[in-house]
Amino acid sequence: MAHDDEDFRRARAVPSGRMARFGAFGRLAGGVAGNVLAQGARKLASGERPQLRDLLLTPGNAKRLTDQLSSLRGAAMKLGQMISMDAGDMLPAELTEIMARLRDRAYHMPPAQLNTVLTAAWGPQWRQRVAHFEAHPLAAASIGQVHRATRKDGRILAVKVQYPGVRESIDADVDNVATLLRLSGLLPREIDIAPLLREAKRQLHEEADYLREAEQMGRYANLLADNPRFVIPAADPALTTERVLAMDFIESVPIERLESAPQADRDQAMAQFIGLVLRELFTFGFMQTDPNFANFRYQPESGRLVLLDFGAARPVDPAAADGYRRLVRAGLEGDRAAVRQASLDVGFLKPAILERHGPLIDRMIDVILHETRKTGLFDFGDRAFVGVLREQGAAVAADREAWHIPPAETLFLQRKISGTALLAARLKARVDVRGLAEPFV
């Protein structure tokens, strides 16, 4: 969810018709092309020989792309977020930066458009169904925005209202964004993102079904009923529809507030989150795969952790879980050959990479094993080894024939795992990861 900054305070209607959204993509492509021509002419006039890549990746084009995808919301914005998080390490730094901006950028609907959506969902007399409804949203994101409301019985709700036209435009928006990235030259042609696009469409259709999300929320709450450290809101079935999700409003603060908490509090919170990922992967066979920090919140008084947004919750493929189990076991045992094989089985590596860069891959595995074999607390704040891995991986990244995106199932699982690790690094937590993982593998 976007924070209440200057952009968030501005309302901007969501283009809901197919032609309106297609026209927006056309204007974006035309604007980028016009900027390229203007920049190229200036460089030629000054005696320089312009490179197309440099012309495309100008600050003006970056802002134009970010603004347009933000205003479209829906799949256009969501795909940008997914690409930046799921494949960011494999894409040009400029594209990663542009897409990463979309994680915290969203406009909310103006009142008239909001009224239209709620009238369609709750009826023309929808205001009579609640005692109070706050017109200004608490937060805005890619598919919907959240409002606070109070039922007539006093129950305080968070009401997520879906943007109009988002659900109907998913497939076209995903295809348009992919085409735009291909034509712009921002996305390397060697990377086959077709499987990711298919999976993105499927997941986005699921996320746009709020009745499904309410069911997933209830299922998740049942799975965590034995852990009082987690709080999950309950849906209000009387006010929940396919496009409006009403649930308990839970007082809490952003998870990032833990950055200033005592070390012990940060460590305990991240131990809970890492333990949760392990249970999702190896016990539940069911995972909330969206690690956006806005989906995790904190109650300072009780120390409880609040979990939100279950649109991306999905079953875990048993074969993928087994592959991860073998990968974790090999890492804990320090077995380089087993790590290499498990990485192939899960899809992190492909045979061609090992054939062309086997010794380098082994050295990278050794760096990881050195970290995972340490006993005691793992210090997520110490990121020195990440720089070593990035430096060693530069040779692989420079070899276009070695470029590779793992299977979609692996990507979505790894998205949650990597996002949890990023949160731990943000909080500079120290956790006995080995002690948490051993019982599962």
Residue 326 has pLDDT above 50, yes or no: yes
Percent of the residues in the chain that have a pLDDT greater than 70, as a whole number: 71
Residue 6 has pLDDT above 60, yes or no: no
CB count within 10 Å of CB 266 equals 22
Which two tokens mark 27?
């204007």
Which two tokens mark 234?
């309950």
Q: In Å, how far are 203, 307, 360, 406 from 78, measured between CA atoms?
A: 10, 20, 35, 19
The residues, any chain, with a CB within 8 Å of residue 28's CB and separated by 6 or more, are 64, 65, 68, 180
Give the pLDDT confidence of 247-265 residue by residue, as tens digits.
999 999 999 999 999 999 9
Q: Which helix (H) or strand (E) holds 299?
A: strand 296-299
Quick one: which of 319, 318, 326, 233 has its CA closest to 284?
318
Structure confidence at residue 165 (pLDDT):
81
Ordered domains of the chain (ranges, CATH):
6-105+170-188 (no CATH), 110-162+209-250 (3.30.200.20), 252-441 (no CATH)
The residues, any chain, with a CB within 8 Å of residue 110's CB and separated by 6 or more, are 11, 12, 13
Is-catalytic flag, 290?
A: yes
Percent of the residues in the chain that have a pLDDT greater than 90, as a whole number: 46
Q: What is the DSSP-derived secondary structure letter of residue 105?
A: -
Give the pLDDT confidence of 345-386 residue by residue, as tens digits.
998 888 888 888 889 899 999 988 988 888 889 999 887 777
Q: What is the DSSP-derived secondary structure letter of residue 317?
A: P
3-state SS class at 244:
strand
Which two tokens mark 108?
């909310």
Average pLDDT, the chain: 79
Structure confidence at residue 386 (pLDDT):
77
Give the pLDDT confidence of 388-427 residue by residue, as tens digits.
777 777 777 777 676 777 888 888 898 899 889 989 999 9
Residue 329 has pLDDT above 80, yes or no: yes
pTM for the complete prediction? 0.79
Rounded to whole angstroms, the Cα distance separating 25 from 401 reads: 31
Structure confidence at residue 291 (pLDDT):
86
Considering 5, 290, 322, 345, which one is annotated as catalytic? 290
Most confident of 61-75, 162-176, 356-370, 426-440: 426-440
Residues 40, 55 contacting (CB under 8 angstroms) = yes
Amino acid letter, residue 187: L
